[in-house]
Amino acid sequence: MGKIKGFMEYQRTLPEDREPLERIKDWQEFHEHMPEEKLIEQGARCMDCGTPFCHSGIMLSGMTSGCPIHNLIPEWNDQVYRGFWHDAYDRLMKTNNFPEFTGRVCPAPCEGSCVLGIIQPQVTIKNIECTIIEHAFAEGWVEPKHIAVRTGKKVAVVGSGPSGLACADQLNKAGHTVTVFERDDRIGGLLMYGIPNMKLDKQLVVQRRVDIMKQEGVEFVVNAEVGVNTPAEKLLADFDAVVLCTGATNPRDLEAEGRELNGVYYAMEFLRSSTKSLLDGTQPTLSAKGKDVVVIGGGDTGTDCVATSLRQGCKSVIQLEIMPKPPEERQDDNPWPEWPKTFKVDYGQEEANAVQGQDPRRYLMMTKKFIGDNGQLSSVEVSSVEWVKQDGRFVPMPVADSEEIIPADLVLLAMGFLGPESQLLQSMKVEQDARSNIKANEKTFKTSVDKVFAAGDARRGQSLVVWAINEGRAAARECDRFLMGVTSLP
């Protein structure tokens, strides 16, 4: 611990974001960089806790507390304070294959469990993490590593999202020959087409890491949908092991009258169309330009839909949430080190407020039906709800005479995901659990099919990017053990 009273001397400070009315004019990342001397002060706020919950990576009350990949946070905070940037980079890479991803898109459960957060605003862990890896890239420290010894074993990784990339990276470092199969036209999965460019730049950040992995020997095959145009049987025959990292891409639908109307889409259809058109230099096949947009769902995906709609030039945007507005401060039933269920304003809401003069979110709202003419959506009927306890659990009930009509040319369903798509699993005859996820042992990551493993959202259900990296690393370790009898992977 370099600065014993650092947390008493310095206040939590984050780098400025670009002004909302300016950043919605383009698709560039909206975070600015913090001067090094200011970042050193932020590193000095780390308390050298006796029990640093920031890297605990546990589940409390169904929520993530601490870092699931167990980043050595107090160590690299101290090294940043001391100016030992290369040491900080080395510590960071011991546990995280892709800190440039998590440093941008992770909601930072590490900060939610920061001990300092009990009495003061928590340490700016996420910003420090992102700055360490970008400093390393700028200094030329991040270079492809030569894999000196190859084992002769071949592994197929299906899916190139965060779990698939982490798994492939680890297995390649262990000396195996790794081929990643991706059904889309670009590598990255959720990182490429599920997260907008202004949060995670595709060329400068995602492709940069993919290119390094290619130079290290990982082979990537795009437009290869296993079970459709790439036979599952061929993978089982040609490879010594297969790891399924397909994600939980089956979206939750909304059963309401008028669902079939043109103008009601899943959020991921909209986000993928936007990013693909940006990268291809074409017009999006699905656009919010000039439209009244209603986003149903209040999570990160809903926020991304709000921000994307604004950049495309929507006429208006409203975000409906069925849950009540969170409190400003932790409640007694949400103690530290649980994830703080408090009110937050994300980048999309900040931008909508700047454009429309108010937060786009409306709480305790239920969608009753979609309304349209000649097959085209024109509005949405909604009502207020109250949460009532029935049979031991709370359920949303419509409030009488609270119905209203909201104009809508475009509705985006951002209500989460139910599990992996079943076509691949059926073609491989992989067993699924009661939640439709791939049934795989949580210690060995083995599925019901010999030499087939599973990791990430496909195994554990919809979760965080950092959990996907954790799963990919763990599945790689167990796959390596299966192939070699022992493993040296962490």
Q: What local confidence, expressed as pLDDT, does residue 436 receive? A: 93
Buried b (16+ CB within 10 A) or exposed e, 401-436: eeeeebbbbbbbbbbebbbbbeebbeebebebeeeb
Q: What is the mean pLDDT, run by run of 10 residues, along the chain of 490 residues?
A: 86 95 97 92 92 93 95 95 97 98 97 95 96 97 95 98 98 98 97 97 98 98 95 95 96 96 98 97 96 96 98 98 96 95 97 98 97 97 96 93 97 95 90 94 96 97 96 98 97
Contact (CB, 8 A) for 317 and 302: no
Q: What local confidence, expressed as pLDDT, does residue 423 receive? A: 86
Residue 215's CB is within 10 A of a number of other CB atoms, namely: 12
Q: What local confidence, expressed as pLDDT, does residue 2 receive? A: 67
| Cis upstream peptide for 337 (omega within 30°) | yes
Q: What local confidence, expressed as pLDDT, does residue 453 receive? A: 98
Q: Which domains does the chain have, with CATH numbers?
A: 6-139 (1.10.1060.10), 154-249+418-484 (3.50.50.60), 253-415 (3.50.50.60)
Return d(Cα 254, Cα 368) in angstroms, integer: 10
Residue that has been written with the tokens 């992989």 in this structure: 430
Contact (CB, 8 A) for 22 and 63: no
Angle at alpha carbon of residue 197, lines to 96 and 221, rounded to 5°: 65
- Diameter of the chain measured on Cα atoms: 71
What sign has the CA pseudo-torsion 22, 28, 34, 39? positive
Of 420, 479, 441, 452, residue with least CA distance to 236 = 452
Kindly report the three-state secondary structure assignment for every residue of 377-438: EEEEEEEEEEEEEECCEEEEEECCCCCEEEECCEEEECCCEEECCHHHHHHHCCCECCCCCE
pLDDT, one tens digit per residue, over 137-157 is 999 999 999 999 999 999 999
Of 52, 55, 53, 172, residue with least CA distance to 470 = 55
Return d(Cα 133, Cα 405) in angstroms, integer: 48
Residue that has been written with the tokens 């090094």 in this structure: 36
Q: What local confidence, expressed as pLDDT, does residue 1 receive? A: 61
User: What pTM, to 2 d.p., does this model score?
Assistant: 0.96
User: The tokens of 247 are what?
Assistant: 């994600």
